[in-house]
Structure 1
Amino acid sequence: MKLAPLLSNICIATSTLIIVAQPAWAEIAQVTDVRLNPTDKGLEIILETADGNTPRVFPVSYKETFVVNITNTQLRLPSSQDFRANNPAPGIAAVTVTQQTANSVRVTVVGTAGVPKAEVGRSDHALVLSLTAPADTTAQKPQPTPIVPQAEQPESQTQPPAETEQPVESTEGEEIEIVVTGEQEEGYSVPDASTATRTDTPLREIPANVQVIPREVLEDQQAIRLQDALRNVSGVNFSSSFGNRFSFFNARGFTLAQLRNGFRDDFNASRAAAELANIERIEVLKGPASVLYGQVEPGGIINLVTKRPLPDPYYAADFTIGSYSFYRPTLDFSGPLTTDGTLAYRLNVAYENAGSFRDFVDSERIFVAPTLSWQLGPNTTLTLEGTYLHDERPLDLGLVAIGDRPADLPFSRSLFGPQRPGLEFDEKQGFIYLEHRFNEDLSLRSAFRVTSSFEGRDAIIAADEVQSDDRTLPLRISDFDQYYDTYTLQNDLIGKFQTGSVDHTVLFGVELARLTGRFPEGANAYGAEIDIFNPVYEFSFDPLEFSSGGYSETNSIGIYLQDQITLLDNLKLLIGGRFDSADSEETFIDSGTTTSEASAFSPRLGIVYQPISPVSLYANYSRSFVPQVGRSADNTPFDPERGTQYEVGVKADLLDGRLSTTLAAYQITKSNVLTTDPTNPEFSIQVGEQRSRGIELDVVGEILPGWNIIASYAYTDAKITEDYTYEVGNRLNNVPENTASLWTTYTIQSGSLAGLGFGAGAFFVDNRAGDLDNSFELPDYTRVDAAIYYTRDNFKAALNIKNLFDIRYFEGGDSRTTIVPGVPLTILGTVSLEF
C-alpha cells in the first residue's frame, strides 16, 4: 500500500516578543525559586531552575522599557505564584515576579533614576540577571523588603553570581521587564516557523514569504472560521464555500492547500470547514511548496498547528453568544497525568449552535479533540492525538449573477426550500507522532494519520444559470452519500554536521499516502424552478434519476532531500528537491474504470543574505506539481500541471525587534493547464497557461507595550496567458488586484483601568472576476471590525463587532450560481475563565 505527504508535528512555543521554536514535546524549564542578591553595583535577580534546565534568553529594548523573553519556561515557586520586593538595592525601587496567565510570568524591575544596565548570565541551575543601577546620590542602601513570599532566604544573599554569557545592556528608560512564557503566550510577532523547512528555523533565515497568525490574534478578533483569520495575511483571499460547508482560499492567484500539522487537510481529506478550537497558530507559506508537500497548487499552503499537552494543570472555559442566535461554549483542559509529569494530556471541546442572516439556514457543530503526550525516555516522546467533528447545516450555494454583476437580492434570500435537511458530516481523525533524538545532531521524526469521514447530502440546489428572463432559476434535488478514508505516513531524518567552516542541516524524508472514496448509488431530480425575486418555496420535481455507485483510490509516494547551508554567519543557502509518483483509479458501475499515473521532480533553491543583523535579503526559485485527470482525443496521458516561481524579498525587524516586516515580489507561471480541445470539444488538450505577478507587504508586532498591530497589502496581476477555451488576458477568478488589511489593539498597562483593551481593523478587497469567462464581477469592499475587552486575573470579557458599518459585500464565489454574500453587522460577546 502506498501512502501520502505530510509534515511532522509542528508545535512551537511562542512568546510576547521574541521566541525560539521548539518541538511540542520539548522539556519545559521550571523556575522554582526567585532570589535577590544586592551587589556593589546594584542587584542580582537569580531565577533557579529545576533539573538543571536553563531557559534561552532574548533581549528586546523599548524606549522606556527593556524586555527579556525567556522561552519554554514556567514559574513554579514553592510558597506562592507571586514575588514582590520593594527597594531591594540602591537605584532600584521594586522587583516583582507575577503570574500573568496560567503559562505566562512577568518580572518587572523599576529604577529610581532611570533604567539599570543589565547583563544576562547562565549556570547549570540558574538564570542570573545582573543589574547596575544608574547613579543616584540621594539613594540610601535599603535592605530588601519582600512582600511575597513571606519567608526570606537570607543565606542566598551571599551566593556568588553564576558565570555569565553574552552580556546584554539595556537602553535608557524607566523600567526593565522580563517576560517568562510557556506554550500559551501573548504577542502578535512570531519569529520562527517550521512549515517552510520542516525544521525550526527563524523566519529571517527562510528564503520565502511565511506569515504566522498566533493564538492571540485569533482570540482578539474572535476568529471562529478560517476566513476570519486569513484576512490578516497579504494576498490571501477567500474563494468559495462549496455550499457553506468548506472554505477555499487562493494566494498569488492560485489555490492554497490546507494542512493540519503538515498533513493534507483539504477537501480530499476533510469535507467540512476547519475547526479552530484546538489550533494554537496558523502558518501560511506562499508560493510552490511541492518540494516538501507533494501535490499542491502553486499558491502555497495553510498549515494549522494544534495545541499540545502542558506540563502543569491548565483549565480554560469560554462562552460566546452573538447575533443570529449564535452560541458557542468551548473547553480547554490540560496537565500531567502522572506525578513525574512524563504523561500529560490536553482536551479541547467545542459546541456550536447558530442561526444565520440567511433564510432557512441553521447549523450545529460538535468537536472533541483529546491529546496524550508520553515521555518514553529522555530522548524519546510519543504523542497521540484524536479529533471528532460532527456538522449539520443546509447546503447553501448563496446568490446568483444576472448580467455582469450579482443579482440585486436581499442577502437573506435563500434559493432553496426549508424542507430539505441539507448536509450531515462526520469525521474522525487519529494521529501518532514519535520523535527520537539519537544525539544533539541527529533526530528521527515519524508521524502517522488516519481519517474516516462521511458526508450525506439531501438538498435543493441550482441546476443551471438564471434563464433569459433574468428571474427564473432552474432547480434540482441532489441526494447521495460519500465516504472517504485516508492513511498517511511520514518519516523525517534530520542531521547537523560541518564541512570545514560550513554548517549543514540536512533533512531526508519519505512520505506515503492512500486516499479512498466510496460513492453509493445517488439520485437527482430536475424540473422545478424558483422566481428569485418573488420566491414560492413549493416545488414539483420530475421523477428521481438514479446514478450508479463507484469507488476511487489514489496512492502516492514522495522522497525528498533538503540542505540548509550556513556559508557565513550572514549568508545562508537552501537547496532541496523531491520526487513524487502518484497513481489513481476510479470505477463506476455504469461507466467502467479509468486510471492515471503521474510523476515529477520538484526543486527549490533559495538564498538569504543579511547585510546587517535585523535585515535579510532573499531570493528563491521553486516548482509545484499536480497530476491531471481527463481525456484526450488519442487517449494520451496528460503531463502533471506545473507551477514555476521566481521570488525576491526583504525581511526586517524594526523597533529593536518588536516589529517584523516582509516585502516580497514574485512571478508564478502555471503550465500544462487543461483546456477544451477546439477540434474535439468532448476532449481536452494541455496547452493552457496562467501567470501571476505581484508585490506583498506584511507588518506585525508590538509598537509599544500593550499596542499590537498586524497589517498587510498585496498587489496581484493574475491572468490567462494561453488557452483555447477562455480569452487570453482574462483575469483569474476570485483574485483581486489590490487587498489591504489593518488590525490593531491596545491594552492599558497600569492604573485602575489596567486590563481594559480596544481593537479596531479595516479589511479592503478590490473587485474580482467571478469566473474565468470574466462574465461577471464581484465589487470591491472595505469592512471595518472593532472590539473592546477587559482582562483581570483569570477572567476576561470581550465584545467583538464585525462589519461595524453593516456594508453589503460579497466574499467570493466560483460560478454564476454560487456567489457567497458577506456577513452583515454581527456582534459577539465572550466570557472567559482561565485557571
Structure 2
Amino acid sequence: MFTIKKSTILVAAALSSMAVHAHQDAVQEENMTVMGTQHGYQADNVSAMKMEMSQLDTPGVIAVYDETLIEEQGAATLGDVLKNDASISAGNTRRNRERFYMRGFELNPDQSYLRDGQFHLANYALPIELYERVEVLKGPSSLLYGKSTPAGMINLVTKKAQGDFHLNVSQELGAHNHTKTTLDVGGALNSDETLRARLIGSTAKKESYRRHKDGSAVESERMVGALIVEADLGDRGTVRLNYDRTKDDGHIDMGSAFFQNGDLIGTKEFVWDMPWAKRHSTVENYGVNLDFELSQNWMLTTGYNRQNVDRRTIESNWGKVFNESSKKPNYDPKTQTWKVMARDTFEVFKVDTAYLDFKGEFELASMQHKLLVGTSYVDYKKTDQQDKKGTLGKLSINDNKIIAKPTDLDYRKGKVNEFERQTLGLYVQDYVEINQQWHALAGVRFDQEKNKDETHNNVLPKFAVIYHPSDESSVYATYSQSFEPKDPVAAKYKNAGEKLDAERGELYELGAKKEFFDGLMLVSGALFNIEKNNLVYDDRDTNTMHQDGKVRHRGIELAADGQVTDSLSLSSSLMWLDARYLDHPRLEGKRAKDAPKFVLGAWANYQIDDKNNFHLGARYEGQKYGDPYEKFNKPAYTLVDLGYTHRVALNDSLDGLVRVNVNNLFNEQYLRGGCNHNAMYGDERTVKATFQINL
C-alpha cells in the first residue's frame, strides 16, 4: 500500500476537473483539421526508431518531451525534462553529472544516451538549450543501437536550421543568484532558402543554498555555443554540419551524509567537500549528417560525429563519508570528525561515431514492407592521469575551519593510463504490414566490441506483433534482448584478470495505445517484465568477483499526452514497479536501489487567451531505498510546480514574453539519488522569471 499526500490529491483533482470541463466544451465544438506533426505534447512519429513510424505503429513505449514543454517549464537541465516521466528517477549529481534510473535500472553515461540516434557520451551537464526534444525509449534498444541497459535509452534531438529568419533573446533571473542569457538566431543564407544556418549561445551562473565550512557558496558556471548549417542537395537530400562547445566549471558537492537508519549527519546545508574541490570540463561535438533519396522508395542516411571531452576533477572526499560496515570509517560519530584527503584527476575522452542506413519500402508476397539495413561504428578512447594524497588532517563538523589544498597536488605526477574500444554493429529490421489490422516487426543485430584484452560478439533478436482493432488504436506484444559487456576482474580481487561475460537482459512487454479527440490525445499502457542475468557481484568473504546474479523488474506504465482542447494540453504518466534481486548471496529478495514502487506525474498548460497561459504540474514519487540492503529509507514526496506566461506584441515584427515559474511550491523536503549513505536533497522552493524577445 502507498499513501498519497493531500497536495497530490488536490492537484490531481484540479487537473481532472480541468480536463473533464474542457472535454465537455470540445464535444460541442466543430471538428477541426490540425496540420503538422505535433499536437500539444503528443508526437506523431519518433526519430529514434530510424524510420517513419507513428506511435500507434511503434511496438513499445516511447515518450517524447518537446520544445514547447521544455520552454514552459523553464527546464535548465536534462533532469528538469525527465522529471515528467514516471519511469525515471533521479540519481546523484556529485560532479554536476546527472545520473538517472529507468524502470529501476541505472542509465550509464557511456551506453545509455544517444544524440540524433548516435552514441553520445553523457558524462557532463548536458546543455538542454541545444535540443528541440528528448525521446525516452523504454525497453532494450540493442537492435538499433547495440550495448544498452535493459531499461532503455535517452535520445537527444538537436535543433535544426530554419528557412525563416528568427532572433530570440532571453534572460532568466532566479533564486540563489541564478542568471542565464540565451541567444538563438538563424535563417536562410540565400534567396531560395537552400542554405540555412542557426547560431545558439548561452551563459549561466548559479549558487546553491548549501555552504562550505567557511561559509562560501557552492557555485557553478556554464557557457554553451553551437553552430548548425544545412544545405539542400537539390530535391533529393539535405546535408547538415554541426559544431558545439560546452564549458562547465564549478564546485564539487558530494551531497549530505546519513547514518544507516536514515538520520542526517550534520545539517542540510553542510557541505563535506572543501572549497577548493572543483571540476572543470570542456566538451566539443562536431559532425556531419546526410539524408539522401536514392529513389522514390529508397533512402540513404549517414552521419559522423567526433566528441572531445576534457575533464579535470579536484576532490577532497571520495567514496562514502560514513559506512557502518567499514572497520575504519571516514567519519567518526563519537568525535564528529572526518578525514580530509586530496585527489587531482585529469581525463580525456575522444569518441568517434558513424552510421550508415538504407531504408526502403516495397511490396512482397502481397504485404507491405519497411526495411532497414544498417551499420554503426564507435571508437571510444580514454586517457587519464591522477595524483592523490592520503589523509591531510581531520576536521570537525562543528566549526568553520578548513584544510588548504596541498601545493604539490598535480595530476601530471600520475601514471598515464589509456583505454580504447571499438564497437561495430550490423543490423537488419523489417516492419511488415500483413494486412490492415496485423503488423509485425522482426530484426536481428550482430555486435562486436573489441579492446586490447578481449573481444565480445553478440547476436541480438527482436520480435513484435501489432494488432490494430481500429484506425485509432493498437495492441502490441514485444520480445527483445540487451547486453552489457564487462571488463575483466579488477586488480584488487583475488581472481584479477578473469574474463567476464556480458550481462544480458530479456524484455517481455504487452501494451495498448488509443488516440482520442481526432488524434490529438494519445493514451497508452504497458505491462513489462525484464530479467537481467549474468549479474556481476563481489564476494566479500573470498574477495572475488562472481557472475551468476539475477534481477527482475516488472511493472505497469500508463500515459496520456496531447491536446484535450484548443486551450488545454496535458502530459501525464504513471508507473508501478517491482524491482528485486532474484539470485544474489546477500541481496536476494531485496528491492533495487532508488527504485520507487509508485510514481505519478502530470503537467497541464491552459491557454487563457492568445496572450496568457497558465501551467500546473505535480509529481508524486513513492518510498524507495538509498541502498540495496533496504536500510537507508527515502520517504515518499510530492512536488507541485506552477507557471504563468504572458505574451505581448511590441510592434509589427517584435514580440515579447514574460514567464514566471515556481518550482516546489509547497517547499517539500525530499531526497534525490546518491551513493548509498550519501544523498542529494532536492531544491527548495525556487522562483524564476524569464524575459524573452522574439523577432
Give TM-score, length-normalised by structure 2: 0.89
Deviation at 1:431, TM superposition (A): 1.5
| Residue in structure 2 matched with residue 19 of structure 1 by the alignment | none
**Cα contact 1:566–1:572 (8 A) shared by 2:** yes
Deviation at 1:548, TM superposition (A): 2.1
Which structure 2 residues correspond to residues 408-447 of structure 1 after superposition, within 5 A? 409-418=266-275, 420=276, 422-447=278-303
Which structure 2 residues correspond to residues 377-456 of structure 1 after superposition, within 5 A? 377-407=234-264, 409-418=266-275, 420=276, 422-456=278-312
Deviation at 1:539, TM superposition (A): 5.9
Q: 1:64-94: CA deviations, max 9, x gaps?
A: 143222238xxxxxxxxxxxxxxxxxxxxxx
| Residue in structure 2 matched with residue 63 of structure 1 by the alignment | 28
Distance 1:469 1:521 in 2: 31
| Residue in structure 1 matched with residue 495 of structure 2 by the alignment | 633
**Cα contact 1:783–1:803 (8 A) shared by 2:** yes
Which structure 2 residues correspond to residues 731-770 of structure 1 after superposition, within 5 A? 731-749=591-609, 754-770=610-626
Distance 1:340 1:321 in 2: 39
Q: Which residue of 368, 378, 388 corresponds with 1:513?
A: 378
Letter of the structure 2 residue corresponding to residue 661 of structure 1: V
**Cα contact 1:526–1:542 (8 A) shared by 2:** no
Distance 1:434 1:543 in 2: 50
**Cα contact 1:526–1:541 (8 A) shared by 2:** no
**Cα contact 2:375–2:425 (8 A) shared by 1:** yes
Letter of the structure 1 residue corresponding to residue 469 of structure 2: P
Structure-2 change in CA distance of 1:772 and 1:507 (3 Å) = same
- SS of residue paired to 1:511: strand
Letter of the structure 2 residue corresponding to residue 694 of structure 1: G
**Cα contact 1:245–1:271 (8 A) shared by 2:** no
- SS of residue paired to 2:71: helix
Distance 2:405 2:564 in 1: 62
Tell me, yes or no, if structure 1 residue 465 matches structure 2 residue 321.
yes
Structure-2 change in CA distance of 1:473 and 1:783 (3 Å) = farther
Q: 1:359-382: CA deviations, max 9, x gaps?
A: 221111110110000112221321
Letter of the structure 2 residue corresponding to residue 260 of structure 1: R
Distance 1:781 1:820 in 2: 14
Q: 1:205-233: CA deviations, max 9, x gaps?
A: 01101110011111111111111111111
Q: Which residue of 727, 741, 745 corresponds with 2:587?
A: 727
Distance 1:305 1:199 in 2: 15
Tell me, yes or no, if structure 1 residue 188 matches structure 2 residue 153.
no
| Residue in structure 1 matched with residue 415 of structure 2 by the alignment | 548
- SS of residue paired to 1:69: coil
Distance 2:279 2:554 in 1: 38
**Cα contact 1:463–1:476 (8 A) shared by 2:** no
Deviation at 1:282, TM superposition (A): 0.7
Q: Which residue of 801, 814, 823 corresponds with 2:683?
A: 823
| Residue in structure 2 matched with residue 254 of structure 1 by the alignment | 105
Q: What fraction of aligned residue pairs are identical, expressed as a percent? A: 25
Deviation at 1:610, TM superposition (A): 1.1
Deviation at 1:772, TM superposition (A): 2.1
**Cα contact 1:646–1:667 (8 A) shared by 2:** yes
Which structure 2 residues correspond to residues 258-273 of structure 1 after superposition, within 5 A? 258-265=113-120, 269-273=121-125
Letter of the structure 1 residue corresponding to residue 384 of structure 2: F
| Residue in structure 2 matched with residue 497 of structure 1 by the alignment | 362
Q: 1:98-146: CA deviations, max 9, x gaps?
A: xxxxxxxxxxxxxxxxxxxxxxxxxxxxxxxxxxxxxxxxxxxxxxxxx
Structure-2 change in CA distance of 1:548 and 1:791 (3 Å) = same
Which structure has the larger Rg?
Answer: 1
Letter of the structure 1 residue corresponding to residue 375 of structure 2: V
Letter of the structure 1 residue corresponding to residue 131 of structure 2: I
Distance 2:265 2:571 in 1: 35
- SS of residue paired to 1:609: strand
Tell me, yes or no, if structure 1 residue 292 matches structure 2 residue 144.
yes
Q: Which residue of 341, 344, 348 corresponds with 1:479?
A: 344
Which structure 2 residues correspond to residues 31-180 of structure 1 after superposition, within 5 A? 63-71=28-36
Aligned residues: 641
- SS of residue paired to 2:81: helix
| Residue in structure 2 matched with residue 811 of structure 1 by the alignment | 672
Deviation at 1:432, TM superposition (A): 0.5
Structure-2 change in CA distance of 1:532 and 1:289 (3 Å) = farther
Deviation at 1:596, TM superposition (A): 3.0
- Consecutive unaligned residues of structure 2, counting only runs of 5 or more, are 1-25, 212-216, 323-330, 650-654
Q: Which residue of 679, 692, 701 corresponds with 2:562?
A: 701
Q: 1:335-371: CA deviations, max 9, x gaps?
A: 1111221110011111101112222211111101100
- Consecutive unaligned residues of structure 1, counting only runs of 5 or more, are 1-60, 73-184, 586-594
Tell me, yes or no, if structure 1 residue 349 matches structure 2 residue 349.
no
Structure-2 change in CA distance of 1:463 and 1:218 (3 Å) = closer
- SS of residue paired to 1:810: coil
Letter of the structure 2 residue corresponding to residue 332 of structure 1: D
- SS of residue paired to 1:277: helix
Tell me, yes or no, if structure 1 residue 784 matches structure 2 residue 640.
yes
Letter of the structure 2 residue corresponding to residue 390 of structure 1: K
Letter of the structure 2 residue corresponding to residue 63 of structure 1: Q
Q: Which residue of 436, 439, 442 corresponds with 1:575?
A: 442
**Cα contact 2:623–2:633 (8 A) shared by 1:** yes
Q: Which residue of 658, 668, 677 corresponds with 1:797?
A: 658
319-328 or 243-252, which deviates more: 243-252
Letter of the structure 1 residue corresponding to residue 462 of structure 2: R
| Residue in structure 2 matched with residue 561 of structure 1 by the alignment | 428
Q: 1:382-441: CA deviations, max 9, x gaps?
A: 1101110000011111111112215154332211222x0500000111020012111121
**Cα contact 1:462–1:474 (8 A) shared by 2:** no
Letter of the structure 2 residue corresponding to residue 520 of structure 1: Q
- SS of residue paired to 1:339: coil
Distance 1:306 1:540 in 2: 40
